[in-house]
Structure 1
Amino acid sequence: MPGTTPKARAIGVELRRAREDAGLSARQLAEKIGKSHTTVGRWESGERSPRPVDVATVLSALGADNHLREELIELARNSNGRHWVASSLPEQQRQLAALLEIERDATLVVSASPLLVPGLLQTSRYARAIIGAGGVPADEVETRVAVRLGRRDSIMRSDPAQLLALIDETVLRRVIGAVDVLAEQLRAICEVMQRPNVEVRIIPLSAGWHPALEGPFDLFESNNRARVVHVENRRSGQFFHEQDDVKAYQDAVSWLRNVSHDPEESLQLIADVIDEMEAEL
């Protein structure tokens, strides 16, 4: 689906921000560049991919700095490409902006987590322990924690996305921060599992090998948008949106559902682990 790619979403975020910083409405900008306001709106929403010349025209009209203009023009050169790998810091920041937009629009989020509690379920102390130990500069830790906690709005708002969290059993026993931090985190998961839009399934150790052991991933579905998958490691993030690529992850989700405990069994397992930890505190 041209124009609904993660890169198009990232470009749209930046174009909208630049326009708002310039104090212009979409209609005013459209008049300045000789385009319809619906075209500008589609660029900003990511529904249509602007050409590099369009990006240059918009940012020149808005008086944006040359650095931003060069970055977005380069991003627009292959906005409909098969996938998007972001390894530089500026591109990672643009990818995060796209991820936040995609999460906000999602009707379904599937998070496969073999190593850590999924970001949408993390408590502040658990998130802080991860971010603080990950080499993030001390003056950036609280900002990043706030961003991560803010992402939970996608499943907590009045019209929330459905969340399917597929979590490996080892995550329940991996002490992050301290035992009391992990216990608090597991209690928070039990609490959020009471929400009708949240389904948590634990993949037991007895499942053996499963696709999530190849690495964590998030799959997003939304109305009138192509499904996208996001994966990341320590040095880069990557989006997939081509149908064949996404289907490979959908097949992985089906596998994980088949080998995981159902929600009731998962809740009981988490409760049992909490009891074991609290006996040690």
Structure 2
Amino acid sequence: MPQRRTVTSRSHEPRWRYAEEVRRLREQSGLTLRQLAERLGWDWSTLGKLERGQSLGSPEVAQALDEHYGTPGLLLALWELAIADPVQFKEQYRRYMLLEAGAVSLWHFAVSILPGLLQSDGYAREVLATGGIKGEELAQQVEARVGRRALLLGEDAPTFRTILSEAVLRTPLRDAGAWREQLEHLAEVAERPHVTLQVLPLSAGLHGLVGTAVMFLRLPDGRTVAYTETAYKGELIEGNGEVERLQRAYDSMRDLALSPAESLKFIGQRLEEAPCDPST
């Protein structure tokens, strides 16, 4: 029988377990990081960050490594465990928030929910409450989320582009008054000179970001990073190759979106269709 490999104490953490296995397989193969990168067609610095536990990369990287090493599904399963780890998610999100605060430009795609930067108080409250947050914690999180809107205010505000799937604007809140308030807020924000808002109609069909919301940040040093979100997890992506692939998908999708003027008209139509608040 093959000798059982010793599991180190840090291997109990999903992030480090993944990093340890990625590094072990490469060292066992006798390849350097650059040699492995050349064979896979990935940036060597991205692979280095995986081995050091600085990044989890994308599922595509895990799959490519599985195919290369002949370990079908092993690394992808470890990646899924690591990305779902609550500690990992919180660390990445904190880092993302710091980067967002210093970004010189942002561009975004929403699949089903408006980004925090565009949420009204009522919208933020209902979204967070739907996620099971209650009481004092709910009030605190609503305050924190709507406070992010300040990023788009002032003369030094970063340029911001958002593409909203039509589904976002066809999913109203339970509170009719809060929904109208949200639509009015969107129309007001769309008129700001540094903001570009577009709507991606459902008729555009399938595209490269189906099911994935993404925010790109252009940083003061010229780098671009991305933060992707699905219904259950988020991932901060900093590898140049991975960010570039997401950008290509975003650019292709943007070509299918309505123009800013058509998009503002679309929001106006949703406002006309929105039920009036019975309390007014």
- Once the two structures are superposed, what CA deviation does each residue of 1:17-43 show, in whole Å capped at 9, x if it has no partner? xxxxxxxxxxxxxxxxxxxxxxxxxxx
Q: Distance in 2 between matches of 1:77 and 1:140?
A: 35
Q: Which runs of 5+ in 1 are unaligned?
A: 1-74
| 2:87 is aligned with 1:90 | yes
For the Cα contact (< 8 Å) 1:169–1:205, is it kept in 2? Answer: yes
| 2:89 is aligned with 1:114 | no
* Cα separation, partners in 2 of 1:95 and 1:215, compared to 1, 3 Å: same
| 2:241 is aligned with 1:240 | no
For the Cα contact (< 8 Å) 1:190–1:267, is it kept in 2? Answer: yes
Q: Distance in 1 between matches of 2:230 and 2:135?
A: 21
Deviation at 1:180, TM superposition (A): 2.2
Counterpart for residue 253 of structure 2: 256
Q: What pairs up with 1:42-191 in 2 under 5 angstroms?
A: 77-79=52-54, 82=57, 86-191=83-188
Find runs of 4+ consecutive structure 1 residues off by over 6 angstroms.
none
* Cα separation, partners in 2 of 1:196 and 1:240, compared to 1, 3 Å: same
Deviation at 1:159, TM superposition (A): 0.7
* Cα separation, partners in 2 of 1:179 and 1:77, compared to 1, 3 Å: same
SS in 1 for 2:125: helix
Q: Distance in 2 between matches of 1:135 and 1:195?
A: 34
Aligned residue type for 1:177: R
SS in 2 for 1:140: helix
Q: Distance in 1 between matches of 2:51 and 2:141?
A: 27
Q: Distance in 2 between matches of 1:177 and 1:234?
A: 20
Aligned residue type for 1:78: G
Q: Distance in 2 between matches of 1:185 and 1:221?
A: 27
Q: Distance in 1 between matches of 2:100 and 2:133?
A: 23
Of 191, 200, 207, which residue of structure 2 is paired with 1:203?
A: 200
Of 203, 208, 212, which residue of structure 1 is paired with 2:209?
A: 212
- Identical positions, percent: 26
The alignment of Structure 1 onto Structure 2 pairs a total of residues equal to 207
Aligned residue type for 1:111: H
Q: When the two structures are superposed, what TM-score results if normalisation uses the length of structure 1?
A: 0.67
Deviation at 1:101, TM superposition (A): 0.8
Q: Distance in 2 between matches of 1:147 and 1:225?
A: 28
Counterpart for residue 271 of structure 2: 274
Q: When the two structures are superposed, what TM-score results if normalisation uses the length of structure 2?
A: 0.67
Worse-superposed segment, 230-239 or 164-173? 230-239
- Once the two structures are superposed, what CA deviation does each residue of 1:81-132 show, in whole Å capped at 9, x if it has no partner? 6469653333333222212111111111111012011221000110100001
* Cα separation, partners in 2 of 1:181 and 1:255, compared to 1, 3 Å: same
* Cα separation, partners in 2 of 1:182 and 1:229, compared to 1, 3 Å: same
- The alignment yields a C-alpha RMSD, in angstroms, of 2.4
For the Cα contact (< 8 Å) 2:96–2:236, is it kept in 1? Answer: no
For the Cα contact (< 8 Å) 1:126–1:177, is it kept in 2? Answer: no
Counterpart for residue 44 of structure 2: none
